[in-house]
Amino acid sequence: MGGAPSCGVSGAVPPVIALRGVGQRYRTIGRAGPLHALSDVTLSVALGELVVVVGPSGCGKSTLLRIVAGLDRATAGTVEVEGRMGIVFQDPLLMSWRTAVDNVMLPIEILRRDRRAYRPRALELIRLVGLDGFQDRYPHELSGGMQQRVALARALVADPDVLLMDEPFAALDEITREQMSLELLRIWTETRKTVLFVTHSIAEAVFLADRVVVLSARPGMVRAVITIDLPRPRTAKLRGVQRYTEYCQEVREQLGLIV
């Protein structure tokens, strides 16, 4: 693949995330040899773009996101990210001893910013994620979907340039999940963040994405990059549209599900 912008970034918008030839091997104990998690992944995400990485379980897509987040170091290739990142993991990872709004405020405290100045913003984000009135509840008083909304508000509070999402809705039931997809698109439209989203749900990937990056099974390699040319704003009706189902089929083909 080399260094060429093989992912077809639209126009002249500079990439906010640029991965070139990224590979990851884990040393393992025993005779099995190193675990090859990722191989030669080249991928870029443009400003304001919503890119979804989809792949089978264990293809290294979460590892890819951890590398972008700086939590793991790639063993090969280069990673460039412009600006600050906010992350949402599969589990909300809320602090049980903090109320919703205090959980949202956590990054502000860590970044040593003025708490009083950011509190109105935290409350506004709680409203944005649809939790108005729940700001003083503790996590155990919130449902799984609501907890994940708090996690999303927390990821947004320090006004990051990039939002990284690691299967954020995978632990939710399907109804909540579809609801959260819609909410994410609404929030994305309002905040215009650059989003890198990882999932193993084909439907979720096509519904959300500007572009879908299909990874192969381990070691994860970029199988295909599919530009999803569906109109926005997207609503639940889209799921019944033929073009949408065709895109889903195309992703399935690239994943090797349709022979």
Partner 1 sequence: MRRRLVAGLVRYAPAAALAAFAVAAWEAAVLVLRIPAIIVPPPFEVALALVDRSVDWPHHIAVTALEIVAGFAAAVVLGIGLAVVLVMSQFLARVVLPWVLLAQIVPKIAFAPILFLTFGYNQLPTVIITFLVAFFPMVIDTAAGLGSLDPRMKDLLRSFQGSRWDVLWKAQFPASLPFIFSGLKVSSTLAVVGANVAEFVSARAGLGFLIINSQVTFNASLAFAAATYLILLGVAFYALIVALERWTLPWAAPHRAA
Residues that bind partner 1 (CB under 8 A): 66, 69-71, 85-87, 89, 91, 93, 95-98, 106-107, 109-111, 138-140, 158
DSSP-based three-state secondary structure for 189: helix
Nearest to 9 by CA among 240, 223, 213: 213
Residues 215 and 221: beta-carbon distance below 8 Å: yes
Indicate the Cα dihedral angle 138, 141, 143, 146, nearest 10°.
Answer: -40
- Least Å distance, CB 85 to partner 1, is 7
- Least Å distance, CB 103 to partner 1, is 11
Closest to partner 1 by CB, 86 vs 250, is 86
- Least Å distance, CB 137 to partner 1, is 10
Closest to partner 1 by CB, 142 vs 222, is 142
Residues facing 85 on adjacent strands = 162
Closest to partner 1 by CB, 102 vs 210, is 102
Closest to partner 1 by CB, 85 vs 126, is 85
| Structure-block tokens of residue 153 | 């508000």
- Least Å distance, CB 1 to partner 1, is 28
Which whole-number Å values give the CA distances from 153 to 24, 101, 103, 172, in the listed order?
Answer: 31, 9, 9, 17
- Least Å distance, CB 222 to partner 1, is 24
Tell me the helix, strand and coil percentages in the chain, rounded to 5. 35, 25, 40
Indicate the residue type of 28. T
Closest to partner 1 by CB, 85 vs 128, is 85
